[in-house]
Chains A and B, each alone.
Chain A
Amino acid sequence: MSFVFSEVPPTSSVRRQKVRDFLHSVSLDMSEDVEIFVVAKEDDRIVACGGLSGRVLKNIALDESLRGEGLALSLMSELLNVAYREGRQDLFLFTKPDYQEVFESCGFKYIEQSKHQVILLENSYNIDLYKKHLRKYKHTGAVVGSIVMNCNPFTLGHRYLVEQACEHSDWVHLFVVKEDASFFKFEDRLRLIQEGLADIKNLTIHEGSDYIISKATFPTYFIKDKAQIDSIYTELDLNIFRNQLAPQLGITHRYVGNEPLCAVTNEYNQQMKRLLAAPSEFPPIEVVELGRIEYGGEPISASRVRTLMQENRLEEIIPLVPPTTYALIEKMMSKEEA
């Protein structure tokens, strides 16, 4: 049996629709963020496909009747060809736990699973390198705290949270979300955090990675119930945190800001409490919700600062952020006007 392989670029909507139909036939939803699909055809009929989205391989599916290692390996060869040609070297792959072995034989290594429905693999040993890197920053103590923050941008609200965490802990590890998907660039966010917290002694500021709240770890496609999408993603992220990263640093606590307003984030916080403390072979991590600091009767938040920026109400930002953050905002706004 021979198959004909071809690529479906994002511009080809008719052919993409055919891929979507094929994925539906094997009970998968097409992930709209896939840039390029590789499809295998037999007699003009799609029998297998796989997609590339950034550095993530997903929507990999084979026709039930042809499921055997042969076609899977041919498909993966073609898909890797495309990924490497596009300069994506370190790849991630989402699939169902049943297919772990197939993809391991293509050079991928298991990282973590979520709800026994999805597994994440990578084709490098980067998570091992990252774990080794983290171990260098280990501090022993009865309470070793952790915070994961985007800080888009860094406000006095963030500072208050970190201060509280550091007061309650012997040491605190702060992870800055690395993904450049926010209004403020990663390097700016990181620098503002470093400057805004320079006086706090029992704190390590870490650059985030692909393994903490990143785009590279957002599976959506084989989940039929849309309400589950977030919880599968968050569970995967939390499993990696608890099972892989936290043990390297001896983390005992994770601090989050409470979320009285946003139902989605509040649900995430509640899920975090459950998962990080659930019985497991790994040590439990206690989640502590901290109250938010207010100014003018409203919580100080990054989104409030961004709204004020859009409305060009610069003076009102001054009491919400440290001088270092304000300096950058002023610079950005004056550039815009010029």
Chain B
Amino acid sequence: MSKKLETAHAGTLESSDAFVRVIPVAAKGIEIELESSVEELYGDAIRTLVLETAKAMKIEGVKLIVQDKGALDYVIKARVQTAILRALGEAEPDWSVL
């Protein structure tokens, strides 16, 4: 199941935060572009987190661009969720999947 998406974003570029952009693309699946100040240590973990979060919200055909400034993982997760909700035009998340 996939839903209709618009471009959207959430977050800031400030320290300990993340800036997430959601851009619909023609290709299927979920593409992730990550730039992180802690790339070497946590790059793979962040990519997995972003991917799992997006999958749980049942979206595809999307590119997620994440600028991470050393955010803790629940911050990244929240920013990704918010950006996706905005992309879906939904105000309330499906709490059961979060």
Contacts and interface: CB of A to CB of B under 8 A. Distances in A.
Interface string B1-43: 0000001110111110001010100000000000101000000
Nearest to A74: B14
B14 A80 contact: no
A73 B12 contact: yes
B42 to A, nearest CB: 16
Given A80-B9, A84-B9, A89 B23 contact: yes
Nearest to A69: B15
A81 B20 CA distance: 11
A84 to B, nearest CB: 5
A77 B8 CA distance: 14
Interface residues of A, number: 13
Contacts of A77: 11-14, 19
Nearest to B17: A77
Interface in B51-65: 65
B71 to A, nearest CB: 13
**Interface majority SS on A: helix, strand, loop or mixed?**
helix
B15 A106 contact: no
State which size class the interface on B falls in.
Answer: 10 to 19
Contacts of B67: 105-107
B77 interface: no
Contacts of A105: 13, 37, 67, 69
Contacts of B12: 73-74, 77
A76 interface: yes
Interface in A119-147: none
Interface of A: 70, 73-74, 76-77, 80-81, 84, 87, 89, 105-107
Interface of B: 7-9, 11-15, 19, 21, 23, 35, 37, 65, 67, 69
Given A70-B15, A73-B14, 15 more contacts: A70-B14, A73-B15, A73-B69, A74-B12, A74-B14, A77-B13, A81-B9, A84-B9, A87-B7, A89-B7, A89-B23, A106-B13, A106-B67, A107-B13, A107-B35
